[in-house]
Amino acid sequence: MLVIAAVWVFVAVTGMTAFLVVRFGGTRVRPIDRLQTPGPLVSAFLPSPALVWKELVNWVGTLVPATPKSLPLLKRRLMRAGYRTPQAVRLFYGARVCSTAVLGVGALSILLRMYVTPEHLFEYTAGALLAGFLAPMQYLQMRVARRKHAIEKALPNILDLMVVCVESGLGLDQTVIQVAQELRLAHPELCSEFAMMNLEMRAGKRRVEALHNLSDRTGVEDVRRLVAVLVQTDRFGTSIAQSLRGHADYLRIMARQRAEERAAKLAVKLVFPIFFCVLPSLFVVTIGPVMVRLVRDLFPMIEKM
């Protein structure tokens, strides 16, 4: 029984891994594909299902009243996730209502076909409604975390280019513009934030205020430290290139320390994959032939005795 259970666990883990690889393996786009020209556009007379769904969610979001207490926090999360359109809040509320309704109705229809008892029917339906209500917020937090990670990864390279631009004679404003133009394909998240900061300064905001807005939009601790360094440099008149180079070295040291910390945790994290993926296959290879031999030779001898 232990061997059969181990085999089933191995088959389940292998199947789930293959499904995840097939489902999410194509999310990374090659840089050469991003530089190619897009294909022929679909005719404007045939609205796509995505556009119809977006309009439906937007219309539902207009019917949902927004709470003034949680609205600033929601706008900040949407901004940090990269959603800056005016209808982002309406789309979020509409997506929450639609996901709650779809999961609730789907779970109710499936449970009615399975002839579940009324007590379990209410519990499972309530769980589906709660999952549909929380799913948009969880997705938003996932997008925020992914965008923060991309900004943290791009910051040392952008600081190196900023040092080169400053040492070549450009000012800080021109450096920000040049960096946003040169690295917009490699690091679009942070370059879009730099472009937004440049637009704010062109609109009349002071540099210090635009830098603080940059820190607030990203929500990344390394960007907050960079903003503090730039503000102090602008206030006291110190060398911008020297400050940026020192901050870039500091970021690389911190990245190296985080990598060493993750490497130290790797031994503990490998316990569960080894136990559920490697050991079942070893049991099948080592104990499987012995069990087959026992069933084929030993059991008939016991029956004849």
Domains and CATH numbers, the chain: 149-268 (1.20.81)
Read off the pLDDT of residues 257-270 as tens digits, 9 standing for 90 and up. Answer: 988 998 988 888 88
Q: Indicate the pLDDT class of residue 46, thresholds 50, 70 and 90.
A: low
Mean pLDDT of 62-69: 76
Least confidently predicted of 53-62, 122-131, 225-234, 242-251: 53-62
Number of CB atoms found within 10 A of residue 258's CB = 11
> H helices of the chain, where?
2-24, 31-35, 49-63, 71-81, 88-113, 118-167, 172-182, 188-202, 207-218, 221-236, 240-269, 271-273, 279-293, 299-304
Asked whether 192 and 218 are in contact (CB, 8 A), the reply is no
Does position 85 have pLDDT exceeding 90, yes or no?
Answer: no
Residue found by looking up tokens 């927004």 in the block: 66
Handedness of CA 81, 84, 89, 91 (dihedral sign): negative
Least confidently predicted of 180-184, 255-259, 295-299: 295-299
Read off the pLDDT of residues 15-32 as tens digits, 9 standing for 90 and up. Answer: 667 666 556 555 454 555
